[in-house]
């Protein structure tokens, strides 16, 4: 399944399967989908950067779509599934105190823009947590893709 197809399917999902991340997260614990009920979480497009900071903990499962810069600073991001960095998106780990992991896969669309990437340059071991990491998991990827699939009935497929 091509990246454009994934994004198109995400846009066509019913509202109960999607979530929106519209503003910086600077405190507290926030959950965007669970293993039992994964979601497609869309970071709202915008001009400014979105920060995960201030000791915030962001947990999620499913598909995370990042179309603008998201900075992880002094916060924890735990995601199980697929992270899609598209458009002007960039996931930047900008603080050695960044914790957590992506368990699944990260796909970065390379549109030949020199400053767009998955930037893990600042990952370091701190006294508070293990450093931020990306670890591949076939099971987490499969579970995330299931959110985007839909069952088509015989009558819908063949018009009978």
The DSSP code sequence of 106-137 is EEE---S-TT-SEE-TT----SSSPBPEEEE-
Q: Which residue has the tokens 């985007």?
A: 148
First to last CA, the chain: 27
Q: Residue 62: what pLDDT?
A: 96
Output Rg (C-alpha) for the chain, integer angstroms.
16
The residues near 7 (Cβ < 8 Å, ≥ 6 apart) are: 65, 84, 86
Residue 48: give the domain boundaries. 3-158
Q: Residue 113: what pLDDT?
A: 59
Count CB atoms within 10 A of the CB of residue 151: 5
Q: pTM (2 decimals)?
A: 0.86
- Edge-to-edge strand ranges of the sheet holding 90-93: 50-52, 69-72, 90-93, 118-119
Q: Residue 7: what pLDDT?
A: 85
Count CB atoms within 10 A of the CB of residue 125: 9
* Count of structural domains within the chain: 1
CB 84 within 8 A of CB 118: no
Provide the CA 135 distance to its chain's centre, in angstroms. 14
Q: Residue 20: what pLDDT?
A: 93
Mark the ranges of the chain whose per-residue pLDDT is less than 70: 1, 110-117, 121-127, 150-160
Q: Residue 78: what pLDDT?
A: 96
Q: Residue 92: what pLDDT?
A: 87
């Amino acid at each position: 399944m091509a990246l454009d197809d994934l994004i198109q399917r995400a846009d066509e999902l019913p509202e109960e399967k999607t979530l929106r991340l519209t503003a910086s997260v600077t405190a507290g614990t926030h959950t965007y989908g669970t293993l039992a009920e994964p979601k497609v979480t869309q970071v709202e497009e915008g001009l400014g950067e979105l920060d995960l900071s201030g000791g915030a903990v962001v947990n999620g499962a499913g598909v995370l779509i990042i179309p603008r810069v998201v900075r992880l600073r002094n916060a924890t991001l735990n995601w199980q599934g697929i992270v899609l960095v598209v458009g002007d998106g960039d996931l930047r780990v900008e603080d050695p105190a960044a914790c957590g992991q992506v368990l699944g896969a990260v796909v970065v669309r390379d549109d030949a823009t020199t400053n767009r990437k998955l930037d893990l340059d600042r990952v370091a071991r701190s006294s508070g947590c293990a450093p931020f990491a990306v670890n591949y998991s076939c099971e987490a990827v499969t579970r995330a893709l299931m959110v985007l699939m839909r069952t088509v009935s015989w009558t819908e497929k063949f018009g009978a």
